[in-house]
Structure formats: C-alpha cells, structure tokens
Amino acid sequence: MSTYFSKEIKYLILFSMVLLFNSCALRPITSEYNFIETDLEKVDLDKLGNGTVLIYNGADILHKIDNTARLNIWIDDKALGQIRSREYVIINLKDGTYEFKALHIDVFNMRSTHVVEIDATTKVIKIKPNITSNRLIVTNELPNKFEKYTYAEKR
C-alpha cells in the first residue's frame, strides 16, 4: 500500500513540474513586418540607422532556464512577432515616435508598454524580460557575444 502511495506522489510531482515548465511557454504571433534578411557576418553597426533598426532579446540566464525568455512584441499595435532568447530582427522604421508593447509569461502575463523615438541615429534596441515586466533600452551597440545570436524566424 505504501509503495502505491509513494508512486502516486512521484507521478503527481513529476506531472506538476512538467505542467509548471510548459505553462511558461508563450505561443508565437505572426509578424506583420518585413524583416531585412541578413547573415550574422554582414551585420555592421555602421550600416544600421536611418530607419534600419536591429531589435534583439537580451534575456539573461534566469529566463532562459525556465522558458520565460520568449517575447511577443507589437509596434503601434502591429505584430513584430516573437523574439526568443539570443535572437534578433532587423526592420525598417521611419523617423517618429512608436509605441512598443512586449509580453512574456512568467506564471502570469507580464506586459509592458514603451514609447520610443526613432530617428537617424537609432540603430539597436534591446528588449529583455525581467521579474515584474519587460525592459526596453535604445543601446545603439551590438550585444556582447553577438556571434552567438541568430536571426529570428517568422513563426
């Protein structure tokens, strides 16, 4: 009787762990933007700007472990798509003010809204999930170890 009970407990714990890790998976959204296809070797900071903007997911190790690093992003209510950890996209944006919305799941839906001014000098935007929301920074520099990043696919 006790071995049967302990097997039930083990299965319950295993099921709970699988459910917990899968509950943080964010379904991708389809992009409404045209990505500028490029090879990693061809990404040059000097070629960015004047409307050509690189956007990357700067998630840290804590979000990569539990599968909460995926970000769904909208720009002015138009879907950019999902950018996973160590992924980037390059898009064209005209000069002006844009509203970026980001969503990631970390037990609850973590949404954030950011107003970004795009001008001729805007080159690189970093978006990363954090514990309570998302953070967006116009860095205008490529991330460390950029050679490990991949171009995001349209999903």
Please, what are the domains in the chain?
2-151 (2.60.40)
Dihedrals φ, ψ of 10, to 5°?
-60, -45
Cβ-Cβ contacts under 8 Å for 100 (sequence gap 6 or more) = 73, 74, 75, 113, 114, 115, 116, 125, 127, 136
Count Cα atoms within 13 angstroms, Cβ side, for 4. 1
CA dihedral 57, 106, 64, 71 (to 10 degrees): -20
58-116 pLDDT, tens digit per residue, is: 988 777 777 788 999 999 999 999 999 999 999 999 999 999 999 998 778 889 999 99
What's the pTM?
A: 0.79
What's the mean pLDDT in 132-155? 90
Residue 117 has pLDDT above 90, yes or no: yes
- The DSSP H or E segment spanning 129 is strand 124-129
State what percent of residues in the chain have pLDDT above 90. 52
More confident residue, 21 or 15: 15
What's the mean pLDDT in 24-28? 65
Cα gap 147→21, rounded to integer Å: 28
Q: What is the pLDDT of residue 41?
A: 65
Q: What is the pLDDT of residue 120?
A: 95
What does DSSP say about strands 134-138 and 124-129: parallel, antiparallel, or unpaired? Answer: antiparallel
Highest mean pLDDT among 41-50, 58-67, 133-142: 133-142
Q: What is the pLDDT of residue 99?
A: 97
**Strand pairing partners for 55?**
89, 125
CB atoms within 10 A of CB 140: 16
CB atoms within 10 A of CB 151: 15
